[in-house]
Amino acid sequence: MQKLIFLKYGELSTKKENRNFFIKLLNNNIKKVLEDVEITYDYGRMFIIPKDNNFNDVINKLQNVFGIHEIVVADRLFNKDLEAIKKEVINVLQTKQFNTFKVEVKRSDKTYPYDGMELRKILGSVILKNIPNLKVDVNNPDIVITIEIRQKEVLIYSDGIKGLGGYPVSSLGKGILMLSGGIDSPVAGYLAIKRGIKLEAIYFESPPHTSEAALDKVKKLAQRLALYNNDIKLHIINFTAIQEAIYKNIPHDYLITIMRRMMYRISAIIASRENAKVLINGESIGQVASQTLTSMNAINAVVNIPVIRPVACFDKLEIIAIAKKIETFATSILPYEDCCTIFVPDHPVINPDKHRCEEYEKLIDYEDLIYTAVKNKNTILIKAENKEFADIL
Ligand code: ATP
Ligand code: MG
């Protein structure tokens, strides 16, 4: 008997012709987070054997990998003899607490001398005979014990652990996440990774108006996202000159609108350089003046690349619930100023006019400022497990 973990792919099963591509990618992603395991896979399952027998550690890590529907710990028997199966089923069940059960049989080896129905009956009565005070309940059992009769082996297992679902990271290409130190953007990033988008992040800082501590906070959030994203590139843009030019020259009710148009323009340039197909941000409809539908139009108008707003239709409490689940919340609420909060006007325009934005922007030499900001960007690679952040450029 050998103990192993197998994975059910879930949503991947809907990807008919691309299925192999998705499975290979999942395999690669898993190899990046797990060392010292033996991995094999077929069209329906992925099998993982931890070499050091550390099942808990492996399961914990797998719970952060997108593209896995269920994680199941199973016993594998190479002896397909019915007596051996009976013995192992009892062994497995004796370690568990339950009152009602159901036996399920999957029989891909069609030559096996007993059919599914016979096996269910035989194994059900063996369980009832050997473990006292149990009942069969086919509708709502405490435990389902499954016996799979495969070509070369038998798998025996009960209920699995839910995986994160979604698609393997990178399967849908790359996106640039506009990552502020707030609550919303890390959640938006997490939801985008779930759909198979490999993230790079961009952060606009305005030293000395924003502190090193604010940047550290963003790095910490990026590191948390790196857990799901394998690792994450963080592009840090010095936004001070642009922000000061806007502050000095543009009517204050339009400060935020113009500032966000600049952020979008720069993010789109980085996306095109990095071959990313979408921008992602934490905008949520109606949350602040810059997130009314009219504002979104005026801001979005400066780029052609699609902008995905995963939390657009969530209310704040829903966003906070996810932030807590992915453990970004505690970092997000640390009280460091980001560049938006410092330059916030008293009365930001709620329905900005696109043409007025264009007129106001003529008051600053924004193309040069953007060119310089992009040229001076600082990019670092953040790994999930690293305490320190390694400079790569
Ligand atoms: P969050 O909680 O994510 O900071 P917010 O409620 O503070 O969002 P805004 O400040 O209006 O809302 O920002 C909306 C979105 O714009 C953010 O979710 C983020 O995607 C992006 N953004 C804002 N500030 C920055 C920044 N300094 N660097 C990068 N992206 C930013
Ligand atoms: Mg913010």
Domains parsed from the chain with CATH numbers: 2-165 (3.30.2130.30), 174-383 (3.40.50.620)
Can you give the pLDDT at residue 86? 96
Q: Could you tell me if the CB of 382 is within 6 A of ligand 1?
A: no
229 lines ligand 1 (CB under 6 A): no
pLDDT for 56 equals 92
Pocket of ligand 1 contains residue 184 by CB under 6 Å:
yes
Given a cut of 80, whether residue 385 has pLDDT beyond it is: no
With a 6 A CB cut-off, is 182 part of the ligand 1 pocket? yes
Indicate if the pLDDT at residue 232 is higher than 90.
Answer: yes
The verdict on the CB of residue 189 being under 6 Å from ligand 1 is no
Cα-to-centroid distance, 272 and ligand 2 (Å): 24
Q: What average pLDDT score do residues 267-272 get?
A: 98
pLDDT tier at 338, thresholds 50, 70, 90 = low
Residue pLDDT, tens place only, 60-106: 999 999 999 999 999 999 999 999 999 999 999 998 999 999 999 99
Cα-to-centroid distance, 316 and ligand 2 (Å)? 13
Which residue's alpha carbon is nearest to atom 12 within ligand 1? 283
Span 167-177, average pLDDT? 94
391 band by pLDDT with thresholds 50, 70 and 90: very low
Cα–Cα distance for residue pair 345/247, rounded to 1 Å? 10
Write out pLDDT tens, residues 128-146. 999 999 999 999 999 999 9
CB 343 near ligand 1, within 6 Å: no
204 lines ligand 1 (CB under 6 A): yes
- 233 Rama class: left (phi>0) / alpha (psi -120 to 50) / beta: beta
Ligand nearest, relative to CA of residue 338: 1
How far apart, in Å, are the Cα atoms of 51 and each of 28, 58, 65, 230? 18, 10, 20, 22
> If pLDDT is split at 50, 70 and 90, which confidence band does 392 have?
very low
Residue 374 CA to ligand 2 center (angstroms) comes to 21
Residue 388 reports pLDDT greater than 60: no
CB-count exposure of residue 52 (10 Å: 0-12, 13-18, 19+): exposed
* Probe target for ligand 1 pocket from 179, 180, 331, with the most ligand atoms within 8 Å of CB: 180
Nearest CA-CA partner of 331 in 229, 219, 235: 219
Closest to 47 measured CA to CA, from 208, 163, 155, 199 = 155
Query: 378: exposed, middle or buried (C-beta count within 10 Å: 0-12, 13-18, 19+)?
Result: middle
Structure confidence at residue 13 (pLDDT):
61
pLDDT at 291: 86
35-53 per-position pLDDT tens digit: 889 999 988 889 999 988 8
Is the CB of residue 202 less than 8 Å from the CB of residue 222? no
Mutate to test the pocket of ligand 1, among 178, 291, 300, 378 (most ligand atoms within 8 A of CB): 178
335 or 303, greater pLDDT: 303
pLDDT the model gives residue 17: 73
Mean pLDDT lowest among 103-117, 154-168, 247-261, 376-390: 376-390
